[in-house]
């Protein structure tokens, strides 16, 4: 896949990756062996018929390929950009055993982007209205998927979104240079074109309660509120000025356009030397955003080694090319402030990796040495947790861990008519796993309303954590 020049792109928010040309897409599709037992499909959480969609690309029927993907996945332009394909479909591709796997994600993105160049999307078949209303709380990938699948079955679906724009993390978390807002808008418009209503600025649990929704005639409720609350390390100095939690930092820029201050009235403190703590996608996005805001030096501070980094491989490479410096085996122990309460340094322990424990996992341990980084901003990107606003308002809802909802594999909670999926059931995970949960929940909501299952679900098993 072609990328923009790192020296130019690190100064702006335009998309970094340019996608495949038609010639490249044809060549890439031709590499697919059309396996009879395609391993790639078993690596896809929503089981897209990958060989079939690639066979359309081989025939140059790009819209046919897209239609095939949409039978399984309503957000192909998004998944083609942000899915961790190297550990999912591509990680299972048979060609990967000896050489490079087929670039399935790049082909998915290609057909989705091709459609935008030729006009309006072709709508799938939508059943006639069945007269039943379903409420979906949260417009992230889980919420949008459940809404689209139920709308296709003929349900009257309303999505309630707390923020002023739809899309969840796709909109407020993932930066424009990785996932342009117009792509999210296009996918959200597609979902709306199936008849789904999206009401923004509605915080369920405050603006409206769950009881009010049921009283208003909604037969079932899907909770897809994600896990967007901050997690801190609990080290001294986290309350200093210029320490940000990654989601807040990214939301200020992505959703509130702080990088265009004062044209937009949300500010973000610009810094010269920035330490980002963590090594997942959120950390990479924060580091590359800080660079684009004008920081001269940006460090990723991570307590393990490069091998254990959880972020997408492509984003790590992009960050390196743009000049982000990686401090591995480094664990922050204190954020040091100046006399005015502003960050001036980050003290870290130097770590070593121990021998694997019984589970086979290697853990980092302090080596006894420490070092100090001179920085004037610290961004904490060590994970998120559940937001309690809605959860606390629902009496009797069974929870696990730090306030995540217990649901079975089909999204059923312990309360009748109430379903859940995505990050709020698993903890922070991926776009496609949230979509997979949305798909399964849509089937089970349909079964519930049509009376194909008992109305009071059995106590569900806790969902798997990410």
Ligand X SMILES: Cc1cc2nc3c(=O)[nH]c(=O)nc-3n(C[C@H](O)[C@H](O)[C@H](O)COP(=O)(O)OP(=O)(O)OC[C@H]3O[C@@H](n4cnc5c(N)ncnc54)[C@H](O)[C@@H]3O)c2cc1C
**Where along the sequence are the contacts to ligand X (CB under 6 A)?**
82-84, 137-143, 160-163, 168-169, 173-174, 202-205, 224-226, 228, 247, 250, 281-282, 285, 312, 387, 389-390, 422-424, 428-432, 434
CB of 281 to ligand SF4, least distance (A): 24
Q: Work out whether 94 is an interface residue with ligand SF4 (CB under 6 A).
A: yes
**Which residues, numbered 164-193, are part of the site for ligand SF4 (CB under 6 A)?**
none
Note the maximum CA span of the chain. Answer: 68
Q: With DSSP H G I counted as helix, E B as strand and the rest as coil, what are the percentages for the chain, rounded to 5? A: 35, 20, 45
Answer for which of 1, 63, 95, 194 binds ligand SF4 (CB under 6 A) is 95
CB of 63 to ligand SF4, least distance (A): 20
Q: Are strands 399-400 and 404-405 parallel, antiparallel or unpaired?
A: antiparallel
Does the N-terminal peptide bond of residue 89 adopt cis geometry, omega within 30 degrees of 0?
A: no
Q: Which is nearer to ligand X, 179 or 346 (CB)?
A: 179
The residue range among 89-97, 235-243, 260-268, 325-333 that interacts with ligand SF4, by the rule CB under 6 A, is 89-97
Q: Which is nearer to ligand SF4, 96 or 230 (CB)?
A: 96
Q: Which is nearer to ligand X, 379 or 434 (CB)?
A: 434
HSE at residue 254, side-chain half, CA atoms within 13 A, is 31
CA distances from 169 to 42, 163, 184, 382 (A): 26, 11, 11, 16
CB of 92 to ligand SF4, least distance (A): 7
CA distances from 172 to 134, 149, 433 (A): 25, 24, 19
CB of 180 to ligand SF4, least distance (A): 26
Q: Work out whether 102 is an interface residue with ligand SF4 (CB under 6 A).
A: yes
Cβ–Cβ under 8 Å, residues 114 and 28: no
Q: What gap in Å lies between CA 134 and CA 132, rounded to an integer?
A: 7
Work out what residue 95 binds among ligand X, ligand SF4, none; the CB cut-off runs from 5 to 8 Å by kind.
Answer: ligand SF4
Q: Work out whether 25 is an interface residue with ligand SF4 (CB under 6 A).
A: no
Q: What gap in Å lies between CA 20 and CA 28, rounded to an integer?
A: 9
Q: Give the phi and the psi of residue 359 in degrees, each rounded to 5.
A: -80, -5
Q: How many other CB atoms sit within 10 Å of the CB of residue 119?
A: 8
Answer for which of 3, 6, 35, 219 binds ligand SF4 (CB under 6 A) is 35
Binding interface with ligand SF4 (CB under 6 A):
32-35, 38-40, 50-51, 93-95, 102, 104
């Amino acid at each position: 896949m072609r990328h923009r020049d790192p020296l130019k792109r690190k100064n702006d928010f335009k998309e970094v990756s340019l996608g495949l040309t038609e010639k490249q897409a044809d060549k890439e599709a031709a590499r697919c062996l059309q396996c009879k037992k395609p391993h790639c499909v078993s690596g896809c959480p929503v089981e897209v018929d990958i060989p079939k969609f690639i066979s359309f690309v081989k025939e140059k029927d790009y819209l046919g390929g897209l239609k095939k993907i949409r039978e399984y996945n309503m957000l192909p332009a998004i998944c083609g950009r942000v899915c961790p394909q190297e550990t999912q479909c591509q990680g299972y591709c048979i060609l990967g055993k000896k050489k490079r796997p087929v670039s399935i994600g790049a082909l998915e993105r290609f057909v989705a982007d091709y459609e935008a160049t030729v006009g309006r999307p072709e709508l799938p078949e939508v059943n006639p209205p069945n007269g039943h209303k379903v409420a979906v709380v949260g417009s992230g990938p889980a919420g949008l998927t459940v809404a689209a699948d139920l709308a296709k079955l003929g349900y009257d679906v309303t999505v309630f979104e707390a923020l002023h724009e739809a899309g969840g993390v796709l909109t407020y978390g993932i930066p424009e240079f990785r996932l342009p807002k117009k792509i999210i808008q296009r996918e959200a418009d597609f979902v709306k074109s199936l008849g789904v209503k999206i009401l923004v600025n509605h915080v369920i649990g405050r603006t409206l309660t769950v009881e009010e929704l049921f009283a208003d005639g909604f037969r079932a409720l899907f909770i897809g509120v994600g896990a967007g609350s901050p997690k801190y390390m609990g080290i001294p100095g986290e309350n200093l000025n210029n320490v940000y939690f990654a989601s807040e930092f990214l939301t200020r820029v992505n959703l509130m356009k702080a990088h265009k201050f004062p044209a937009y009235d949300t500010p973000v403190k610009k810094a010269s030397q920035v330490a980002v703590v963590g090594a997942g996608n959120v950390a990479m996005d924060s580091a590359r955003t800080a660079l684009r805001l004008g920081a001269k030096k940006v460090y990723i501070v991570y307590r393990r080694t490069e091998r254990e980094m959880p972020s997408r491989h492509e984003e790590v490479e992009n960050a390196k090319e743009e000049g982000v410096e990686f401090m591995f085996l480094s664990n922050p122990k204190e954020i040091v402030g100046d006399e005015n309460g502003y960050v001036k340094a980050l003290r870290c322990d130097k770590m070593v990796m121990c021998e694997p424990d019984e589970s086979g996992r290697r853990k980092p341990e302090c080596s006894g040495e420490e070092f100090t980084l001179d920085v004037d901003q610290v961004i904490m990107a060590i994970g998120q947790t559940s937001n309690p606003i809605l959860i606390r308002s629902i009496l009797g809802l069974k929870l696990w861990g730090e306030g995540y909802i217990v649901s079975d594999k089909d999204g059923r909670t312990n309360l009748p008519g109430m379903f859940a999926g995505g990050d709020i059931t698993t903890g922070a995970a991926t776009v496609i796993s949230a979509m997979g949960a949305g798909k399964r929940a849509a089937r089970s909501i349909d079964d519930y309303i049509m009376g194909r299952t008992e109305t009071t679900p059995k106590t569900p098993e806790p969902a798997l954590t990410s």
